């Protein structure tokens, strides 16, 4: 039976991996909406290939080019934040939410309000608006399927078991390309070096987050919202091979782990086929060739990001949204060569500790105001540096 799907963030790494799987199973899917920020050429080509009903650019200044690229195709074209949310609100069997950053908050909420199934790859939505998002999921009867490899691994390890029987959730981290460097060496890291992840092929922002360990800290906050086992029962362990994607320990001492290749098509396929399974083009793991699996504790003296994230979710309220916004500004500044790599967590901590935090946001609009204020303060501190 054909299922309908919308992909928010279709030209990014998650979106293209999703479409690769759909391409291999074309008779099973009907594409409704595809969105991108302003990658008009690729978005138009994908919309035509998959015969989407509508294509949307978040940057409204790109709309004229999109309309020209789709002229005569019969595919609708739209642009801007409102159009993005309208596309997300179209009823479909599955929405893949893969817009990076807080820009994805509104569309994610619009999809949830339809009461459908959302494959959530936008970690910032849960980090900045976790309580609001969860309340909306419950209110509208929506289903969230975690698409991040770590959370999807935990989701799989929990299948058929009770959350009450969980002793620990163990998030694995590759440690990024710089896990063996000291603080002095980190200060000399270049943009080009930071964008080369040893295991994963990802977008620029998430690749830098992996290098700083902020990605793992944000995932800890996500896990706290997705899997109610208590913050003190969620741990991070560095696993350089990225073969075990996360683990769940039960109260009887059993530890279940999900293993797989370092390719996002594996967790995406888990979401596309849920609650069943589907074929992927991935070769089977060659365990003898892998030979060994290593583990080590994260070094929070050199990589303080995980500590900052744990403290932010422990404080609650607006702290996680402030942290997320400050990190997005800091990463953008590093990519623009305005600050050194080692200053990313320093800027985030300064924004968090600079004055009294805003009150806990209760609506999406309030989250966006907190986000805007934190970005403003982060940019002020950049100018003073």
Query: What pLDDT is attached to residue 96?
Result: 98
Domain that holds residue 87: 3-146
Same domain, 170 and 128: no
Query: What pLDDT is attached to residue 1?
Result: 83
- Is 144's pLDDT higher than 80? yes
Same domain, 131 and 258: no
Same domain, 134 and 169: no
Beta bridge partners of 57: 36, 79
- Is 315's pLDDT higher than 70? yes
Same domain, 305 and 359: yes
Per the model's pLDDT, the better-predicted residue between 159 and 355 turns out to be 159
* Domain final residue, candidates 146, 170, 204: 146
Q: What is the token pair recorded at 26? A: 């074309």
Burial (CB count within 10 angstroms: exposed 0-12, middle 13-18, buried 19+), residue 288:
exposed
C-alpha triplet 26, 28, 29: angle, nearest 5°: 75
Contact between 57 and 63 under an 8 Å Cβ cutoff? The reply is yes
pLDDT for 341-352, tens place per residue? 999 999 999 999
Q: Average pLDDT of 258-271?
A: 96
Q: Average pLDDT of 231-254?
A: 97
- Is 275's pLDDT higher than 90? yes
- Is 81's pLDDT higher than 90? yes
Is the residue at 88 inside a domain?
A: yes
Same domain, 102 and 129: yes
**Of 146, 149, 215, 220, which is closest to residue 177 (Cα–Cα)?**
215
pLDDT for 34-57, tens place per residue? 999 999 999 999 999 999 999 999
Query: What pLDDT is attached to residue 228?
Result: 96
The pLDDT-based confidence of 385 (bands split at 50, 70, 90) is low
Task: Count how many domains the chain has.
Answer: 2
Query: What pLDDT is attached to residue 119?
Result: 98
Q: Where are the alpha helices (DSSP H) in 113-160?
A: 123-140, 149-158
* Domain final residue, candidates 104, 130, 146: 146
Query: What pLDDT is attached to residue 366?
Result: 95
CA distance to 66, 293, 353, per residue, from 134 (Å): 34, 35, 27
HSE toward the beta carbon, residue 222, CA cutoff 13 A: 28
Compute the distance between CA of residue 223 and CA of residue 71 in angstroms, rounded to an integer: 44
The pLDDT-based confidence of 203 (bands split at 50, 70, 90) is confident
Q: In the sheet that 166-173 helps form, which strands lie side by side, from edge to edge?
A: 234-238, 166-173, 244-250, 255-259
The pLDDT-based confidence of 100 (bands split at 50, 70, 90) is confident
Percentage above 70 pLDDT, the chain: 99
Q: What is the token pair recorded at 22? A: 């759909």
Q: Average pLDDT of 306-314?
A: 97
Q: What is the token pair recorded at 105? A: 């908050």
Same domain, 174 and 111: no
Is the residue at 285 inside a domain?
A: no
Instruction: Report which DSSP code applies to 165.
Output: G
Compute the distance between CA of residue 279 and CA of residue 381 in angstroms, rounded to an integer: 49
* Domain final residue, candidates 96, 122, 146: 146
Is the residue at 274 inside a domain?
A: no
């Amino acid at each position: 039976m054909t299922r309908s799907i919308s992909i928010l963030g279709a030209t990014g790494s998650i979106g293209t991996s999703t479409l690769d799987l759909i391409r291999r199973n074309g008779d099973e899917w009907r594409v409704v909406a595809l969105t991108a920020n302003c990658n008009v050429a690729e978005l138009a080509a994908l919309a035509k290939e998959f015969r989407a009903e509508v294509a949307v650019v978040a940057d409204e200044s790109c709309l004229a080019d999109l309309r020209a690229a789709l002229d005569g195709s019969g595919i609708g074209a739209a642009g801007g934040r409102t159009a993005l949310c309208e596309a997300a609100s179209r009823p479909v069997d599955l929405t893949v939410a893969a817009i990076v950053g807080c820009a994805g908050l509104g569309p994610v909420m619009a999809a949830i309000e339809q009461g459908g199934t959302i494959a959530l790859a936008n970690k910032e939505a849960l980090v900045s608006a976790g309580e609001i998002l969860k309340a909306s999921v419950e209110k509208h009867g929506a289903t969230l399927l975690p698409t991040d490899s770590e959370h999807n691994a935990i989701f799989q390890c929990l299948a058929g078991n009770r959350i009450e029987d969980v002793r620990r959730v163990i998030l694995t981290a590759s440690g990024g390309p710089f896990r063996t460097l000291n603080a002095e060496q980190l200060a000399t890291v270049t943009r080009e070096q930071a964008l080369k992840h040893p295991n994963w092929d990802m977008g620029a922002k998430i690749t830098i987050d992996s290098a700083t360990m902020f990605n793992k800290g944000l995932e800890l906050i996500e896990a706290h919202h997705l899997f109610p086992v208590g913050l003190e029962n969620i741990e991070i362990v560095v696993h350089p091979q990225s073969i075990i994607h996360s683990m769940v320990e039960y109260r009887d001492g059993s530890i279940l782990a999900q293993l797989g290749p370092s390719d996002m098509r594996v967790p995406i396929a888990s979401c596309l086929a849920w609650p069943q399974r589907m074929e992927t083009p991935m070769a089977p793991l060659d365990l003898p060739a892998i030979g060994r699996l290593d583990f080590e504790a994260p070094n929070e003296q050199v990589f303080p990001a995980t500590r900052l994230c744990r403290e932010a979710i422990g404080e609650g309220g607006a702290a996680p949204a402030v942290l997320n916004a400050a990190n997005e500004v800091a990463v953008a500044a590093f990519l623009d060569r305005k600050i050194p790599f080692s200053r990313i967590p320093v800027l985030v901590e300064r924004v968090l500790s600079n004055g009294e935090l805003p009150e806990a946001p209760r609506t999406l609009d309030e989250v966006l105001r907190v986000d805007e204020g934190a970005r403003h303060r982060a940019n002020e501190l950049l100018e003073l540096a």
